[in-house]
Chain A
Amino acid sequence: DAGVTQSPTHLIKTRGQHVTLRCSPISGHKSVSWYQQVLGQGPQFIFQYYEKEERGRGNFPDRFSARQFPNYSSELNVNALLLGDSALYLCASSFSLRAQIQYFGAGTRLSVL
């Protein structure tokens, strides 16, 4: 079975631009969470989506938004990119809202110049 897949693998943007990252969860998983991992740090929680609704939000500005589609895939959008948004963005899926075991994708490496 396919694991969590994320696209693109790498992305280079300039300050002020907009970016969309995509995630497909493991088949049968209905919950998707997004994390930002800045170099040298642990991942930080951005959002959790379940059944197309936002169920949790971390301490990130409104420039960050996400959505989940009927097939449970998800997009993370970041507007007005800043240099500090350069990071590895990880998507994780779990079977349900309360399922604690999360399975991570390989991530999207975003570089903002």
Chain B
Amino acid sequence: AQSVTQPDIHITVSEGASLELRCNYSYGATPYLFWYVQSPGQGLQLLLKYFSGDTLVQGIKGFEAEFKRSQSSFNLRKPSVHWSDAAEYFCAVGDAGGTSYGKLTFGQGTILTVHP
């Protein structure tokens, strides 16, 4: 069964500092990987996705993520954090080869706090 682990429940950074959010996945084949962001009272917004090809993917709002098959990781990065990036971030893996194509398996989330 597929699974996602986000080891950091809460991360605090200063505005302007760099950011890396960790994500490890378990999946039998090449996974479809996603990062979503959720602001309080909001639904999930897709930041970026990896399906195949270039292992470094660019997303919206200046975010990027790198797929490392050897480490089963898909870490999210941003070189300079803005106060508006404070939110909860979810890593997810898609069921590419199974019967539930619409099934996303999410990690527990990482809450990002940004200090001025």
Binding site for B on A (CB under 8 A): 4, 31, 33, 35, 40-45, 48, 50, 55-58, 90, 92, 94, 97-107
CA A98 to CA B32, docked complex, whole Å: 12
Q: Which of B12-20, B70-78, B98-106 lies at the binding interface?
A: B98-106
Query: What's the least CB distance linking B104 to chain A, in Å?
Result: 6
Asked whether A42 and B94 contact (CB < 8 A) given A55-B102, A56-B103, A98-B101, the answer is no
Known A-B contacts: A33-B102, A43-B44. Give 5 more (CB < 8 A): A31-B102, A48-B103, A92-B102, A92-B104, A104-B43
Q: What would 12 A/B residue contacts be, using CB atoms closer than 8 Å?
A: A33-B102, A40-B108, A42-B92, A42-B109, A48-B102, A48-B103, A55-B100, A55-B102, A56-B99, A56-B102, A58-B103, A104-B45
Query: What's the least CB distance linking B20 to chain A, in Å?
Result: 19
A42 touches B108 (CB 8 A): yes
CA A105 to CA B109, docked complex, whole Å: 18
Report if B42 contacts A (CB, 8 A): yes
Asked whether A103 and B106 contact (CB < 8 A) given A55-B101, A97-B101, the answer is no
B44 touches A90 (CB 8 A): yes
Report if B90 contacts A (CB, 8 A): yes
- Among residues 1 to 53 in chain B, which have CB atoms less than 8 Å away from a CB atom of chain A? 4, 32, 36, 41-46, 49, 51
CA A80 to CA B40, docked complex, whole Å: 29
Q: Which residues of A contact B92 (CB under 8 A)?
A: 42
CA A92 to CA B94, docked complex, whole Å: 13
CA A33 to CA B42, docked complex, whole Å: 17
A104 touches B44 (CB 8 A): yes
